Structure 1
């Protein structure tokens, strides 16, 4: 009889969480697995309404769910939100992770603990890399509140792995896809272009810094890695380790915009909005993804142009409705 999987997903109602739930369901149908997906968050729609910063609620959650794997997505995920509400970001991103990890060790000691960190934790190490794809052994030198909270939680989970937590840590680079909020660069561009195409806005697009280079992924590729870590047989060899999720190459934000404009077939003016500028930024950020390939056979499959087309189409549908 196949093993029964009980996957607890925190932050399941968010952008990445919603795509992960689809991926897990796809895996269940594809492989005929005995799979239950349990969700937790602050939304009433969640299976368990849980405040991640409340240690007692989190302990009860894990005790009642009895998960075989936990995918921890709950976070203050937008860097701008973390900058505006630093105390909340530290409470959720660090204390919430601590609550969940200790609850897992006490009430579900055999469960895999999949921690979703961020490439933002590397921070100034990208400057040291001089544009080369960064590896997992690079120092964590965060330059933002969000990056610092993720780096701290990353270190915490890594330390608890020595105490027995069956932890797998991921550091995903920039990822986007249909459904992402406009706090992020690709949907911010796509929404404006969709409004222009629908005749609901002047043919003018407002942008921030277009000179930076970033490593972009499709969210659907990213959640495949999380699902593999939660369900796959190879994951046991990854306990205690950390993995970049990246394409291995950087793309200039200007190129992202140019491709979206081409896909939209719009004739637009581009204007820089000072409110969209974040101050000093890292010029180039890219990640080496060899470790994830070696451990899970994971690599990106969806081309950037397809991702951008899907995001733009999603916004056209939203604007039309």
Structure 2
């Protein structure tokens, strides 16, 4: 059975991906921070700060993976503005530490690095769906750190490690932090329905257009990308996008229609990004051609599940 080392295993995607990987036949060695292993369903659990090179090297040596997925990152854009040093240390130096550990202790492992569509930044302003050869023009510390990490992975791939870089667009679903837009909407709606928040939903920029994917579809893409292991000449970088961008206002309307409670909407200046772009659209042709992947879950279904999740959370949280 292939052994897969999953960094960032305690995060939103990591928790979901662990089960999906096990279902696909992988033995999952989860690597997380200072969180109890009891919260993980992984086959094995290792604790390590990826900024600690020696500890990470030992973890990779202990895991002896045939595959690696590197999810661990500071991924919240506002946090990257507030704590740029932590962002760069985690996202760039942490990635370098992992690459060096793989080179030393698991050189035959296939590594998937999920970067981010945020790397395209100002390139989105063309209004054209970006392709993998579109020049990244990051507009925030998170995106810049991901570009730098991508170049580190490309260099190690050039030197002989096998792997691929993915650029997923906005993925959403139950268990995501309310720091992110659709989860914030869902949580506020649930609180208002329960009478725990005044019937005013605070929002940021509703005119922005984004490509939203269900997290399960993203996990499916990751698993299919692992199938490129050992196949010479595979692409080094692929977009994971639905191919259908939507205005955030329209996404909010879909959610509000699922509530019977009258809710007003009010813009909160604190929720506006200093470098927001009007539209983010991605071309997913290369991923489809390479793996046969297609998004399978309708946005309306994802939003319904997200609302139900937060309704349950509000019921069970004092």
Pair 1:186-2:179 in alignment? no
TM-score under structure 2 length normalisation: 0.94
The aligned residue for residue 228 of structure 1 is 224
Pair 1:296-2:291 in alignment? yes
Counterpart contact for 1:134–1:288, Cα < 8 Å: yes
Deviation >3 Å, runs of 4+? 237-240
1:280 offset after TM fit, Å?
3.6
Counterpart contact for 1:216–1:250, Cα < 8 Å: yes
Query: What is the CA deviation profile of residues 272-297 of structure 1, one whole-angstrom value per residue up to 9, with x for unaligned ones?
Result: 11111113411110110111111111
Counterpart contact for 1:161–1:239, Cα < 8 Å: no
Query: What is the CA deviation profile of residues 61-91 of structure 1, one whole-angstrom value per residue up to 9, with x for unaligned ones?
Result: 1111110000000000111111111001000
Looking at structure 1, the residues matched to 289 and 55 of structure 2 have their Cα atoms a distance apart, in angstroms, of 37
The aligned residue for residue 62 of structure 1 is 60
Q: How many residues align?
A: 309
Matched ranges for 1:236-315 at <5 A = 236-237=231-232, 239=234, 241-315=236-310
Q: 2:314 aligns with which of 304, 316, 319?
A: 319
Counterpart contact for 2:241–2:283, Cα < 8 Å: yes
The aligned residue for residue 42 of structure 2 is none
| Structure 1 range deviating more: 67-76 or 158-167 | 158-167
Looking at structure 1, the residues matched to 275 and 33 of structure 2 have their Cα atoms a distance apart, in angstroms, of 34
| Structure 1 range deviating more: 185-194 or 104-113 | 104-113
Looking at structure 2, the residues matched to 234 and 97 of structure 1 have their Cα atoms a distance apart, in angstroms, of 20
1:234 offset after TM fit, Å?
6.7
Looking at structure 1, the residues matched to 76 and 163 of structure 2 have their Cα atoms a distance apart, in angstroms, of 24
Unpaired segments of 5 or more residues in structure 1?
Answer: 29-34
Counterpart contact for 2:6–2:14, Cα < 8 Å: yes
The aligned residue for residue 36 of structure 1 is 27
The aligned residue for residue 6 of structure 1 is 3
The aligned residue for residue 139 of structure 1 is 135
The aligned residue for residue 172 of structure 2 is 176
**Superposition RMSD on alpha carbons, in Å?**
1.4
